[in-house]
């Protein structure tokens, strides 16, 4: 039993909230030109699609609304980003600079599997 076991649900909720917020910023960057704007190598149509998923999906995951489907979609987006962009450059994420895409992919997949947890709109709607 870990020393943080009593706080496991709250730590999970914080991870979900922070992950959603950080992902949302990527959408703001692509859609509104903030924080350096859209990456130069990204085709605009793909950037707007990815940015929309990042903005809306990140917001939904952050507030915990429709968390499972939103996180699953975000996970798929990051898997696609990894294999379409990073994997084509080199085999290992440390070499192809795909660590962030790979990490987001797996964290969002975990969130999709685990659900909203506490401190979420889904939990408050369920009366938890």
Supply the range of the domain harboring residue 71.
8-117
Q: Does the residue 122 lie in any domain?
A: no
User: Which pLDDT score is estimated for 128?
Assistant: 62
- Give the predicted TM-score (pTM) of the model: 0.93
Terminal-to-terminal C-alpha distance of the chain: 25
Q: Using 50 as the pLDDT threshold, list the residues of the chain that sit under it.
A: none
Q: Does the residue 26 lie in any domain?
A: yes
Q: Does the residue 43 lie in any domain?
A: yes
Q: Does the residue 127 lie in any domain?
A: no
Q: Does the residue 123 lie in any domain?
A: no
User: Which pLDDT score is estimated for 112?
Assistant: 98
Q: Does the residue 36 lie in any domain?
A: yes
Q: Does the residue 3 lie in any domain?
A: no
User: Which pLDDT score is estimated for 80?
Assistant: 96
User: Which pLDDT score is estimated for 43?
Assistant: 85
Q: Does the residue 66 lie in any domain?
A: yes
User: Which pLDDT score is estimated for 25?
Assistant: 97
User: Which pLDDT score is estimated for 94?
Assistant: 93
Q: How many structural domains does the chain have?
A: 1
User: Which pLDDT score is estimated for 36?
Assistant: 84
Whole-number Å distance between alpha carbons of 91 and 46:
23
């Amino acid at each position: 039993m870990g020393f943080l076991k009593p706080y496991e649900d709250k730590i999970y909720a914080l991870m979900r909230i922070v992950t959603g917020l950080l992902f949302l910023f990527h959408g703001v960057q692509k859609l509104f030109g903030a924080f350096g704007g859209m990456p130069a190598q990204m085709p605009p149509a793909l950037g707007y699609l990815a940015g929309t998923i990042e903005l809306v999906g990140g917001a939904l995951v952050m507030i915990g609304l429709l968390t499972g489907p939103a996180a699953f979609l975000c996970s798929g987006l990051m898997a696609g980003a990894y294999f379409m962009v990073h994997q084509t450059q080199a085999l290992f994420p440390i070499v192809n600079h795909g660590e962030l895409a790979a990490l987001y992919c797996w964290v969002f997949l975990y969130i999709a599997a685990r659900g909203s947890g506490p401190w979420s709109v889904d939990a408050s709607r369920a009366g938890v």
